[in-house]
Amino acid sequence: MGKFNWKLHLILVLFVFLIAELSLAQNTITNSEDWRDVYSAMLYGSLTSEPVSFLVSDKHGTLILESIPSDTEVRAFSSRRNPFIIGYKSVLESRGYSAEEYIYDGFNLELAEQLEVSNFIVIDDSYGYNAISVAPYAVASDSYVLFADENNIREIDGFLSDRVVDNLLIYGHVDRDVKNTLQKYTPEIINKDGDRFDNNIEIVKKYQELKHAKQTILTNGEFIEKEIMSGAEPVIFIGSNNVPDQVREYIQGSEIDIGILVGNELVGTATYIRRQVGISVFVKFAQSARNPVGAISQVEALDMFYLPTYTLNIELDSIKYNKATNLLEVSILNKEDQAVYFKGTYSLTASDGSRQAVGDLSPIFLDGNELKTMTYEVEPMPEGDIAGDVYIIYGESKGSMEKVIDLTFGVETVEIFDDCEITLDRLLYDKGKKNFYVEIENLADVVCYADVELVDLLIGGERTTIGSQDIVEIPPGKTKQSKVKVRLEEEDFEDNPIIHVKVHYGQRENSLVKVIEAKLELVLKAVNYVFYTLILVILLLILLILYKRRKKKKHKI
């Protein structure tokens, strides 16, 4: 009996010491409006096993203290340029805390200097979701995440050159200068043509090689939250309204059997995962109130720091049945400057009750602020009203179809012929102006309009589709050039000897119902030496005239 009491006493003593240590533990609060600072501080805390919190507003500066015991040492990491609260140390001390405040110009590199790590992950801070995607793997692999672009890559390289770099991972799309500068570190690169869902799956696979987690966080990568940054489980991206196919397939074939949805904005998508994929899904949407009032247990919203996001917004502009051609004409409008890809399914119900469905077999590119008309062959429709059920999935890349348009739309009947016929003559690239020029000849007797796409250009090792700046108007029998602005470097010319050109064209500028495609050889536009020689001669003559005039004035004096 005495031996049992001795063990129990020891356990109680250890428990008391543990509680005392926790109460005296140092807490760090991040005081910055810049998500990059918050992210860097949270990652720093996870790598050093120190508790780090963050402010989400100025009012939050005192509310957050309700969960921190008054005998705790608190230090503030404050932004010099973008703090929520100026002089946060005095606020902490007025609440009875022993406090220190460290003020940084930029957290990312300054906190990196304080860590003894030799593994690094490099991302572009233009894509906040990439930071969320790599966070769990960074903690699991003892890696620090550096934000790099063409403006600060020299500073990043200087930092790395003073360190022992065992492993360097470049994740997602980064500037060409970043990749070229970091080649000396023999980096591993994860970038599936900039597709955030494909890239996310690849980093989750690397995490699983280390941890073999059975549980994952489900999110869309648009905010920072404590559990996401803890590294306790991987993060899998799900779409706003839709689960991309590759995500569903990965989860089904993985070790994961539990998903934790952080926030309740994506409950519908998470429900789909539970039903179709077969894993259990739990929703984490609140936390215990830090300042409860009354006898009933209260909750408050999770602390979430939202990241900048790309706004994707397309809409169905019109859907018409052209009885002259038996074509369904579907016009989609991109209301944002960000290019998207979409796939549509259109089910038609005629006045006699007959139904037929058409749609896209592969993703369609839609440039920023562009209106595009797609056509589909249908069986002849009887007179009367036609109802259309529209289901469109879309996203920022071919594999990122995360958003959905699901509606019923009245189908207008028209009878219009389009007599346009064009041919694509050749494709030029002007190195000086950084422009492609597609020469298009109008073979018809009517004015034709054309909108050009260069499909799957390989630029810096990443495939991308780029559209022309404007719709070109081509008079009958004439040839016009359509300009596509793209910056290519020397190595890109070798990667693109033949280019896939796709042109939407037609008689109606706002309804280009015809398509022509061709594989054209890339021709580099020769420098016009005669033109530049003439310019040089003219400049020399001007200088000579000015020199003689100046000499004549001196002679008169």
Distance of CA 412 to the CA centre of its chain: 36
Domain boundaries, the chain: 314-413, 422-526, 530-557
Q: Tell me the three state secondary structure of residue 532.
A: helix
Task: Report DSSP letters for 292-340, one per residue.
Answer: --SSS--EEE---EEPP-----EEEEEEEEETTTTEEEEEEEE-SSS-E
Q: Which residues are within 8 A (CB) of 547 and not within 5 positions of it... i.e. 6 or more apart?
A: none
E strand or H helix at 70, and its extent?
A: none
Query: What is the rounded distance in angstroms from the CA atom of residue 266 to the CA atom of residue 262?
Result: 9
Contact indicator for 519, 498 with CB cutoff of 8 Å: yes
Structure confidence by residue, pLDDT tens digits, 170-194: 999 999 999 999 999 999 999 998 8
Contacts by residues 55-58 (CB-CB < 8 Å, ≥ 24 positions apart)? 55/29, 55/30, 55/31, 55/84, 55/85, 56/303, 56/304, 56/305, 57/84, 58/84, 58/85
DSSP conformation class of 274: I
- For 510-540, write each residue's pLDDT tens digit: 999 999 999 999 999 765 545 556 777 788 7
SS3 500: strand
Count of beta carbons in the 10 Å neighbourhood of residue 446: 14
- What would the CATH number be for the domain defined by 422-526? 2.60.40
Backbone torsions φ then ψ of 31, nearest 5 degrees: -115, 80
User: How many angstroms separate the most distant Cα atoms in the chain?
Assistant: 123
Do 471 and 449 form a contact (C-beta atoms < 8 A)?
Answer: yes
Nearest CA to 78 out of 52, 54, 102, 51 is that of 102
Torsion of CA 221, 224, 226, 229, to 10 degrees: 60
* pLDDT of res. 325: 95
Whole-structure pTM value: 0.85
Range 450-466 burial, b when 16+ CB lie within 10 A, else e = bbbbbbebbbbebbbbb
Kindly tell me the sign of the dihedral angle through the C-alpha atoms of 117, 123, 125, 128.
negative
**Angstrom distance (rounded) from CA 533 to CA 540:** 11
Angle between helices 128-140 and 35-48 (to 10 degrees): 10
Reported as half-sphere exposure (CB side, CA atoms, 13 A), residue 186 has a value of 3
| Domain 314-413 bears CATH identifier 2.40.160.40 | no
Q: How far apart are CA 514 and CA 500, in angstroms?
A: 17
Task: Identify the DSSP state of 225.
Answer: -
* CA pair distance 546, 463, nearest whole angstrom: 52
Give me the half-sphere count of Cα atoms (radius 13 Å) on the Cβ side of residue 289: 9
pLDDT < 50 stretches in the chain: 1-24, 529
Residue 198 · residue 246 · CB < 8 Å: yes
Query: 389-409 burial, b if ≥16 CB within 10 A, otherwise e?
Result: ebebbbbbbbbbbbbbbeeeb
Task: State residue 7 phi and psi, 5-degree precision.
Answer: -65, -45
314-413 matches 422-526 in fold: yes
